[in-house]
Amino acid sequence: MAQSSLKQVINFGAGPAKIPKQVLEQVKDELLDCGCGISVMELSHRSSEYTAINNRAIDLYRELLDIPENYKILLMQGGGTGAFASVALNLLHRGAKADYILTGVWSTKAAKEASKYLKVNHVFPKPEKFNGIPDQSTWKLDPEAAYVYYCDNETVNGVEFPFIPETNGVPLVCDMSSNIMTKVFDVTKFGVVIACAQKNLGPAGITAIIIREDLLGKPSPLCPQVFDYTLFTQENSLLNTPPTFIVYIFSLVLQWVKNQGGLVAMEANSKAKSELLYNVIENSRGFYSCPVAKDSRSRITVPFCLGAGAEADKQFLKEAQDLGFLQLKGHRLVGGVRAAMYNAMTLDEVTILVEFMTKFHERNPQYSA
């Protein structure tokens, strides 16, 4: 077993990610007894106690995101990878082809999975590097597409949409796994919104699906029951045994978001954190650089590198690790450094990171570009 450390650590991992300390403390306090004499992990998913937990989670999700009644909320399993398939299998009845907007690793994976079930149209040619979003006037959308799919925030590449795509009436499907709960947005602009829990909603184990009810009712015959949005709607997300402990923590995270001031507060905090980090990058005179176009930069997952190259990145990451900054290493497909700043990450913690970045720059003039 790894030894624990007494030094402060700050977890910048892209997911599974940092969970609010208040939530973890509540989980610890209620671990052996959730109020009925046993742990929530031991509750039957058919019990009245668990039904209350499940309903509270769904109700809070609807309240915080201001989800209209003509949209259903499903708590499913399978992660984002499962959702790549389930979207196609549940919307295939609308047509045998779909438009995909490729802006990074995750939208590309989604398109590849969907291509097993329908014809995938790339609305613009796949770029060699994912470092921005082409102007929407250059896109080639198919008016007969079953849906238009995009990933709102690409965690690997650090690309985030500053706008909601216009689809001229074609249902819009959005993967918001990494930036759900970080901003106010209009749910009615979408047909389906996907969000895996392990970024801003708790531990890995559930995928929250929001779907407009007129899109339900006609899953593909190939669709497994566990991916059937209509069945999950009918069974209130209790079609099969859910990850009960994860749903419980999900409900606690949602209550924490509400207590912090909801999406307005989360959005303001996200803006402040990202501006702080980007400012130190931009003001470093090339010592640090971000490869993403300024109009498409993520507020949530920020990739950057040192201008001097891989050896400088390696030294930066070593010193950061020694000081307790965890999981700052960039994704293997991108390299460099990546700081994930989900809702649980505080402004003070980001301030500590940028102070280290400034001091590292001052101490290492040999790495200047």
Question: CB within 8 A of 169, min separation 6: which ones?
Answer: none
Concerning whether 106 is annotated as a catalytic residue, the answer is: yes
Can you say whether residue 327 is alpha, beta or left, with left for phi > 0 and alpha for psi between -120 and 50 degrees?
Answer: left
> Whose CA is closest to 263, among 252, 254, 276?
254
Q: What are phi and psi of 326, to 5 degrees?
A: -100, 145
Please state, in angstroms and as integers, the Cα–Cα distance from residue 329 to each residue in 29, 75, 146, 340, following that order.
33, 31, 38, 10
Sign of the CA dihedral running 132, 138, 143, 145: negative
- Vertex 240 angle, CA 202 and 226, to 5°: 85
Q: Which of the residues 18, 72, 183, 199 is marked catalytic?
A: 199
Cα separation, 215 vs 171, whole angstroms = 9
Span between the terminal Cα atoms of the chain, in Å: 42
Concerning whether 175 is annotated as a catalytic residue, the answer is: yes
Q: Which of the residues 152, 175, 228, 313 is marked catalytic?
A: 175
Pairing of strands 207-212, 288-289: unpaired
Q: Which of the residues 18, 72, 106, 228 is marked catalytic?
A: 106
- Angle subtended by helix axes 79-91 and 105-114, to nearest 10: 40
Pairing of strands 153-154, 159-160: antiparallel
Cα separation, 78 vs 207, whole angstroms = 7
Find where tokens 């999950």 sit.
232
Catalytic residue numbers, as ranges: 106, 175, 199
